[in-house]
Amino acid sequence: MKKLRWRLFLHFSLQFISIAVLMVIVILMTLFIVIAYYTNDVAENNYYEAKLESITIETGNSFKHLEMNDGWDEGLAEDNLWVQIINEEGKVVEAGNVPTEIPMQYSQFQLLQMQETNELQGYSLTFYLETFYESPFLFVLGHYDHERPFLQKLVQDYGKKTGIGAQHLAEVERKLERIEGSLTLYDQNENVKQTLGEAPEQEKPLDLFRRKEQPDVYSTKKTTYKDSDSGLIWVLTTPNENKKDRSFDSYRDLAIAFGITGLIVLLITIIISVWNGFRYGNPLFIFTNWLSRMGNEQYEEVLTERERKQVFRKNGKTKLRYRLYDEVFHAFYEMAAKLAASKKEREELEENREEWMTGISHDLRTPLSTMQGYGKLLESGQYEWTKEELVDIGKTLGEKSDYMLSLIEDFSLSFQLKNQETPTSFKRMDVNNLIRKTLSKFTGDLTLKNNYLISFHPLEDSHYLSVDEKWFERMIDNLIYNAIKHNPPGTSIDVILTKIDSRNEFKIMITDNGVGMDEETRKHLFTRYYRGTNTDERIEGTGLGMNIAMRIAQLHRGDMFVETENHQGTIVGIIFPLS
- CATH number assigned to the domain comprising residue 499: 3.30.565.10
179 and 74 within one domain: no
- The total domain count for the chain is 4
Torsional sign, CA 502, 507, 512, 515: negative
Please tell me the distance from the alpha carbon of residue 573 to that of residue 553, in angstroms, as a whole number: 10
387 and 401 within one domain: yes
Residues near 134 by beta carbon (within 8 Å), at least 6 away in sequence: 64, 65
Q: Using one digit for the tens of pLDDT, what is the confidence trace for 337-383?
A: 888 888 887 887 777 667 556 656 655 666 777 778 878 877 787 77
**Contact predicate 487/514, CB 8 Å:** yes
Residue 100 vs residues 110, 114, 506: alpha-carbon distances, Å? 17, 18, 98
| 281 found inside a domain | no
Range of the domain at 358: 346-418
Residues near 487 by beta carbon (within 8 Å), at least 6 away in sequence: 452, 493, 512, 514, 515
| 68 found inside a domain | yes
Last residue of a domain, one of 418, 435, 464: 418
| 33 found inside a domain | no
432 and 356 within one domain: no
544 and 438 within one domain: yes
Please tell me the distance from the alpha carbon of residue 545 to that of residue 259, in angstroms, as a whole number: 80
**Contact predicate 205/253, CB 8 Å:** no
Residue 33 vs residues 40, 191, 242, 262, 562: alpha-carbon distances, Å? 10, 45, 23, 15, 74
Last residue of a domain, one of 216, 239, 262: 239
Q: Bridge partners of 138?
A: 86, 129
496 and 363 within one domain: no
Alpha carbon 228 to chain centroid distance?
67
| 218 found inside a domain | yes
156 and 133 within one domain: no
In the chain, which stretches have pLDDT less than 70? 1-8, 11-12, 15, 26, 30-31, 33-45, 205-217, 242-258, 261, 276, 279-280, 299-302, 321, 323-325, 352-353, 355-366, 403, 406-423, 445-449, 527-545, 579
236: three-class secondary structure by DSSP: strand
473 and 555 within one domain: yes
**Contact predicate 103/25, CB 8 Å:** no
Q: Sheet containing 192-196: give its strands across.
A: 192-196, 182-186, 233-239, 220-226
465 and 569 within one domain: yes
Torsion, Cα 61 67 70 73, to 10 degrees, reads: 120
The HSE-up count of residue 212 (CA atoms within 13 Å, CB side) is: 9
What pLDDT shows up at residue 86? 93
| 58 found inside a domain | yes
474 and 374 within one domain: no
Please tell me the distance from the alpha carbon of residue 409 to that of residue 224, in angstroms, as a whole number: 108
436 and 460 within one domain: yes
Last residue of a domain, one of 145, 178, 195: 145
What pLDDT shows up at residue 53? 81
350 and 440 within one domain: no
What pLDDT shows up at residue 384? 80
| 155 found inside a domain | yes
Which of 349, 409, 344 lies closest to 529 in space, CA to CA? Answer: 349
Which of 522, 528, 565 lies closest to 545 in space, CA to CA? Answer: 528
What pLDDT shows up at residue 139? 93
72 and 85 within one domain: yes
What pLDDT shows up at residue 426? 86
What pLDDT shows up at residue 104? 93
- Give the CATH number for residue 217: 3.30.450
The HSE-up count of residue 137 (CA atoms within 13 Å, CB side) is: 21
| 304 found inside a domain | no
pTM for the complete prediction?
A: 0.37
